Amino acid sequence: MSAGPAILERTVDGFVDEILPPESVAPLKSRDIRIGDKRTSVRLEPIVWDALKAIADREDMTIHELCTHIAQRRRGDSSLTSTIRAFIVGYCRALTTDRFR
Protein backbone atom coordinates (compact mmCIF):
# COMPACT_ATOMS: atom_id res chain seq x y z
CA MET A 1 0.00 0.00 0.00
CA SER A 2 1.31 3.47 -0.81
CA ALA A 3 1.88 6.08 1.88
CA GLY A 4 -0.94 8.31 0.61
CA PRO A 5 -3.99 6.15 1.39
CA ALA A 6 -2.61 5.01 4.76
CA ILE A 7 -2.08 8.63 5.80
CA LEU A 8 -5.57 9.52 4.59
CA GLU A 9 -7.10 6.62 6.54
CA ARG A 10 -5.29 7.67 9.73
CA THR A 11 -6.34 11.26 9.13
CA VAL A 12 -9.98 10.43 8.48
CA ASP A 13 -10.21 7.88 11.28
CA GLY A 14 -8.23 9.63 13.96
CA PHE A 15 -7.76 13.32 13.30
CA VAL A 16 -10.71 14.62 11.32
CA ASP A 17 -12.01 16.71 14.22
CA GLU A 18 -8.54 18.15 14.79
CA ILE A 19 -7.98 18.95 11.11
CA LEU A 20 -11.51 20.13 10.36
CA PRO A 21 -13.34 21.05 13.57
CA PRO A 22 -17.06 21.78 13.10
CA GLU A 23 -16.65 25.48 13.93
CA SER A 24 -14.11 25.91 11.12
CA VAL A 25 -16.55 25.47 8.25
CA ALA A 26 -19.64 27.43 9.19
CA PRO A 27 -20.93 30.04 9.21
CA LEU A 28 -19.03 32.10 6.69
CA LYS A 29 -17.20 35.11 8.07
CA SER A 30 -17.25 38.36 6.17
CA ARG A 31 -14.21 40.60 6.39
CA ASP A 32 -13.18 43.79 4.68
CA ILE A 33 -9.92 43.57 2.79
CA ARG A 34 -8.02 45.93 0.54
CA ILE A 35 -7.19 44.94 -2.99
CA GLY A 36 -4.68 47.58 -3.95
CA ASP A 37 -6.42 50.86 -3.10
CA LYS A 38 -9.95 49.43 -3.11
CA ARG A 39 -11.85 47.95 -0.19
CA THR A 40 -14.03 44.94 -0.69
CA SER A 41 -15.81 42.43 1.49
CA VAL A 42 -14.95 38.74 1.28
CA ARG A 43 -16.94 35.88 2.81
CA LEU A 44 -14.95 32.76 3.64
CA GLU A 45 -15.08 29.86 6.08
CA PRO A 46 -13.12 30.42 9.30
CA ILE A 47 -10.64 27.70 8.36
CA VAL A 48 -9.98 29.45 5.04
CA TRP A 49 -9.32 32.75 6.83
CA ASP A 50 -6.93 30.88 9.15
CA ALA A 51 -5.10 29.32 6.19
CA LEU A 52 -4.89 32.67 4.42
CA LYS A 53 -3.41 34.29 7.55
CA ALA A 54 -0.91 31.44 7.97
CA ILE A 55 0.24 31.79 4.35
CA ALA A 56 0.51 35.58 4.67
CA ASP A 57 2.58 35.17 7.83
CA ARG A 58 4.82 32.56 6.17
CA GLU A 59 5.38 34.90 3.22
CA ASP A 60 5.89 37.92 5.50
CA MET A 61 2.89 39.76 4.02
CA THR A 62 -0.38 41.14 5.26
CA ILE A 63 -3.62 39.47 4.24
CA HIS A 64 -4.32 42.59 2.18
CA GLU A 65 -1.04 42.28 0.28
CA LEU A 66 -1.55 38.56 -0.31
CA CYS A 67 -5.14 39.07 -1.51
CA THR A 68 -3.93 41.80 -3.87
CA HIS A 69 -1.44 39.36 -5.40
CA ILE A 70 -4.12 36.69 -5.65
CA ALA A 71 -6.65 39.10 -7.19
CA GLN A 72 -4.15 40.19 -9.84
CA ARG A 73 -3.97 36.60 -11.04
CA ARG A 74 -7.70 35.99 -11.39
CA ARG A 75 -8.73 34.44 -14.67
CA GLY A 76 -11.93 34.93 -16.56
CA ASP A 77 -15.03 35.51 -14.51
CA SER A 78 -13.91 33.63 -11.39
CA SER A 79 -14.85 35.25 -8.12
CA LEU A 80 -12.26 36.53 -5.69
CA THR A 81 -13.41 34.05 -3.03
CA SER A 82 -13.07 31.15 -5.45
CA THR A 83 -9.63 32.36 -6.51
CA ILE A 84 -8.54 32.66 -2.86
CA ARG A 85 -9.70 29.11 -2.10
CA ALA A 86 -7.94 27.77 -5.23
CA PHE A 87 -4.76 29.64 -4.29
CA ILE A 88 -4.76 28.08 -0.81
CA VAL A 89 -5.20 24.59 -2.27
CA GLY A 90 -2.43 25.24 -4.79
CA TYR A 91 -0.12 26.64 -2.11
CA CYS A 92 -0.68 23.60 0.12
CA ARG A 93 -0.16 21.23 -2.81
CA ALA A 94 3.12 22.97 -3.60
CA LEU A 95 4.25 22.53 0.01
CA THR A 96 3.42 18.82 -0.01
CA THR A 97 5.41 18.28 -3.18
CA ASP A 98 8.54 19.98 -1.80
CA ARG A 99 8.20 22.78 -4.33
CA PHE A 100 8.53 25.60 -1.78
CA ARG A 101 10.02 23.98 1.30
Q: What interhelical angle do 63-72 and 46-58 show, nearest 10? A: 100
* Residue 9 counted as domain residue: no
* Residue 5 counted as domain residue: no
* Residue 11 counted as domain residue: no
Least confident of 4-18, 22-36, 65-79, 85-99: 4-18
pLDDT, residue 1, reads 42
* Residue 13 counted as domain residue: no
Report, as an integer, the average pLDDT of 86-92. Answer: 93
* Residue 8 counted as domain residue: no
**pTM, 2 dp:** 0.77
Exposed, middle or buried: residue 67 (CB in 10 Å: 0-12, 13-18, 19+)?
buried
Structure confidence by residue, pLDDT tens digits, 58-77: 999 999 999 999 999 988 88
Domain count within the chain: 1
User: Domain range holding 42?
Assistant: 24-96
Across all residues in the chain, what is the average pLDDT?
84
Q: Does the pLDDT of residue 52 top 90, yes or no?
A: yes
Q: Does the pLDDT of residue 100 top 80, yes or no?
A: no
How far CA 42 is from CA of 19, 38, 60, in Å, comes to 23, 13, 21
Which CATH number fits the domain that encloses residue 84? Answer: 1.10.3990.20
